[in-house]
Amino acid sequence: MSDNKNDVNELIHMEQKKKRKIEKEQIESERDDQSENNEYDKNICDNLPDQSEKNEYDKNICGDLPDQSEKKSADGQEKEGDLENDDENGENSETDSSSEDGKKNKNINEEIKGFISKRIPNISRDLSVDVSVAIPATIINNKNDVIKSYLSSYLARIFTIFSISTIYIYDDGFELNRNERNENRNNIPPKTNNERHTISSTEKNENNKKYEYSYLCKYLHFNLQYLETPQYLRKHIFPITNFLKHSGLMSPVDAPHHLRSDEWLPFREGVVIKKNLNNIIVDVGLFSNVLVEDINNINVGTRVTILFDSEAFNRFKNKNTKNLFIGKIIHPSMPKLYNIYWGYNIQILKNLTDVFDVKVDCIIGTSERGDPIQDLKTQIKSARSILIVFGNRDGVEDLFIREREVKKNKRYTGKKRAKVLNKILKKFDYFINTCPNQTSRTIRTEEAISITLSLFQSILS
Q: What is the pLDDT of residues 85-96, one digit of tens each?
A: 444 444 444 445
Residue 351 contacts residue 169 (beta carbons within 8 Å) = no
Q: Say which amino acid occupies 31.
A: R
Provide the CA 208 distance to its chain's centre, in angstroms. Answer: 32
Strand partners, 371: 432
How far apart are the C-alpha atoms of 407 and 421, rounded to whole Å? 15
Residue 257 contacts residue 303 (beta carbons within 8 Å) = no
DSSP assignment letter at 104? H
* Helices of type H across 263-413: 312-318, 376-379, 396-408
Residue 379 contacts residue 459 (beta carbons within 8 Å) = no
pLDDT at residue 196, as a whole number:
59
Provide the CA 353 distance to its chain's centre, in angstroms. Answer: 25
Cβ-based burial of 186 (10 A; exposed 0-12, middle 13-18, buried ≥19): exposed
What are φ and ψ of residue 178, in 5° steps?
A: -65, -40
pLDDT at residue 144, as a whole number:
86
Q: Which residues contact 350 (CB under 8 A, 6 or more apart)?
A: 170, 171, 203, 205, 211, 213
| Tens digit of each residue's pLDDT (9 = 90 or more) over 306-347 | 998 888 888 888 887 778 999 999 999 988 888 889 999 999
Residues in the chain: 461
* Model confidence band, residue 258 (pLDDT cutoffs 50, 70, 90): very high
Strand partners, 313: none
How far apart are the C-alpha atoms of 126 and 259, rounded to whole Å? 21
Closest CA to 366 of 307, 293, 450: 450
| Tens digit of each residue's pLDDT (9 = 90 or more) over 336-393 | 888 889 999 999 999 999 999 999 999 999 988 888 887 787 778 788 999 999 999 8
Residue 227 contacts residue 204 (beta carbons within 8 Å) = no
* Helices of type H across 120-167: 145-161
Provide the CA 313 distance to its chain's centre, in angstroms. Answer: 23
